Homo-oligomer: A and B are copies of this chain.
Amino acid sequence: MINDFFFFNPVKIYFGENQIQNLPKEAKQFGKKILLVYGGQSIRSTGLYNIITDLLNEFTIVELGGVEPNPDVSIVRKGAEICKMESIELLIAVGGGSVIDASKWIAAAACSDYDAWDFFCKKSTVDDALPLITVPTMAATGSEMNHGGVISNKVELKKIGRSSPLLFPKASFLNPKFTYSVGKYQTVCGSVDIISHIIEVYFNNQQSLEMLDSIMESLIKTVIKNTVIAIDEPSNYEARANLMWAASWAINGFINGPVKQGWNCHTIEHELSARYGITHGHGLAIIIPRWIRYCYTEENKNVYMKFAKNVLEIDIPDNQLPDIICTELEKLFFCTFGLSSNLKDLNIPSEELPQIADAVCGDGIIHGFAELDNKDVLAILKMCY
């Protein structure tokens, strides 16, 4: 049975080298007072900070820099307070997924009397939000073209993603050149994140549409091929453009159609990022191949066969499907992309794996491609060690 579904994505995308010129025109629709949100100093060293502030010289700009990877709810609280005090009318997020995600929740918290964390423990809902424009500087989370965002809570050791249709950016400016300065490590981590978004849809137990399966296969192959090019040639426009546009389409709702993401891997990885601050894409690279090997059953082998044939383009005997797919992905992530291959190298203490597994599962199991309890998650974590 093919599930009914809803698709809606109203984000205006300006893609290309010269599109940032349209930023003032888009911003003007929402007001004169802008909160400019960004991360560290890289947007200054690349010149992007100057480009944007020059373009917006007729607006009043308040700044919120210093948004960190795995952004904490404290920065959301701080941003919301500034918005309220300064009567901010529009947010402009310039940076990677962390900056955009933080900005989305600042936009919501600025219009709410609740504490920002209440959105994540389901004590409050998003009833209104300030408008948001994004200028992504990485190809990874796809946050520039969807309505979700992930926030961490360092006190409670939690990292949670939530969404609301009110959090779609009004417009996003995607210039592949803005990603030229992203180093090899962040580039490959971004690519793993893109691939993971597709894999969490592709590996599922619901019936998809052949059209979407085949588009997902195209996207994964595009990302792999262009990551390899971008590693060698960081300023290859074509490669960066393919990665940037693929990132948006991997998680803007389109590839899902009748299928919901399972989020097995993300749920496990978020626990690791929340506790140890590891880079999201790196955590996923370590988890995905082992999760794929662990979850294989006679019932779901069709997905494995399809993936082997259409993505890896190799013939594998049935009984070796999980092993060889795992090995091929390990080769890709750890040899070709050059990421270290296990949790030990990320300084995660082995004695904490059981409590990580318990925390991942909470009181029960995590749903998705596989239904995993804490014993399953612990087994997967041990494969990752």
Q: Say whether A210 contacts B237, CB under 8 Å.
A: no
Assess A10 versus B7: contact at CB under 8 Å? Given A222-B210, A238-B209: no
Answer whether residue A242 sits at the interface, using C-beta atoms and an 8 A cutoff.
yes
Q: Say whether B12 contacts A4, CB under 8 Å.
A: no
Chain B residues with CB under 8 A of A12: 6-8
- Among the listed stretches A104-112, A184-192, A212-220, A336-344, which one makes contact with chain B, having 4 or more residues with CB under 8 Å of it? A212-220
Q: Say whether B7 contacts A13, CB under 8 Å.
A: yes
- Among the listed stretches A16-24, A63-71, A285-293, A321-329, which one makes contact with chain B, having 4 or more residues with CB under 8 Å of it? A16-24
Chain B residues with CB under 8 A of A3: 16
Q: Say whether A211 contacts B246, CB under 8 Å.
A: yes
- Among B7, B15, B218, which residue has its beta carbon within 8 angstroms of that of A214? B218
Chain B residues with CB under 8 A of A13: 6-8
User: Smallest distance from the beta carbon of A172 to chain B beta carbons, Å?
Assistant: 10
Q: Tell me, in angstroms, the Cα distance from A221 to B214 when the chains sit together.
A: 9
Q: How many copies does the complex hold?
A: 2
User: Smallest distance from the beta carbon of A385 to chain B beta carbons, Å?
Assistant: 35
Answer whether residue A14 sits at the interface, using C-beta atoms and an 8 A cutoff.
yes
Q: Say whether A238 contacts B15, CB under 8 Å.
A: no
User: Smallest distance from the beta carbon of A152 to chain B beta carbons, Å?
Assistant: 31
User: Smallest distance from the beta carbon of A194 to chain B beta carbons, Å?
Assistant: 11
Answer whether residue A2 sits at the interface, using C-beta atoms and an 8 A cutoff.
yes
Q: In the complex, which range does the number of interface residues on chain A fall in? A: 35 or more
Chain B residues with CB under 8 A of A16: 2-5, 258
User: Smallest distance from the beta carbon of A339 to chain B beta carbons, Å?
Assistant: 23
Chain B residues with CB under 8 A of A9: 9-10
- Among B17, B207, B257, which residue has its beta carbon within 8 angstroms of that of A15? B257
Answer whether residue A226 sits at the interface, using C-beta atoms and an 8 A cutoff.
yes
- Among B214, B242, B246, B258, which residue has its beta carbon within 8 angstroms of that of A222? B214
User: Smallest distance from the beta carbon of A128 to chain B beta carbons, Å?
Assistant: 18
Closest to A218 in B: B214
Answer whether residue A225 sits at the interface, using C-beta atoms and an 8 A cutoff.
yes
Assess A14 versus B18: contact at CB under 8 Å? Given A209-B241, A241-B209: no
Chain B residues with CB under 8 A of A238: 2, 207, 209-210
A230-254 to B contact mask, C-beta < 8 Å, 1/0: 0000000110011001100100000
Assess A209 versus B242: contact at CB under 8 Å? Given A215-B215, A217-B218, A221-B214: yes
Closest to A221 in B: B214
Q: Tell me, in angstroms, the Cα distance from A212 to B212 when the chains sit together.
A: 14
Please list the residues of chain A having a beta carbon within 8 angstroms of any beta carbon in chain B: 2-19, 207, 209-212, 214-215, 217-219, 221-222, 225-226, 237-238, 241-242, 245-246, 249, 257-258
**Given A5-B15, A245-B257, 19 extra CB contacts under 8 A:** A2-B241, A4-B17, A4-B18, A6-B12, A6-B13, A6-B14, A7-B13, A7-B15, A8-B13, A9-B9, A15-B258, A207-B238, A209-B241, A209-B245, A211-B246, A214-B218, A214-B221, A215-B219, A217-B218
7 sampled A-B residue pairs with Cβ under 8 A: A2-B16, A5-B15, A8-B11, A9-B9, A210-B238, A210-B242, A211-B246
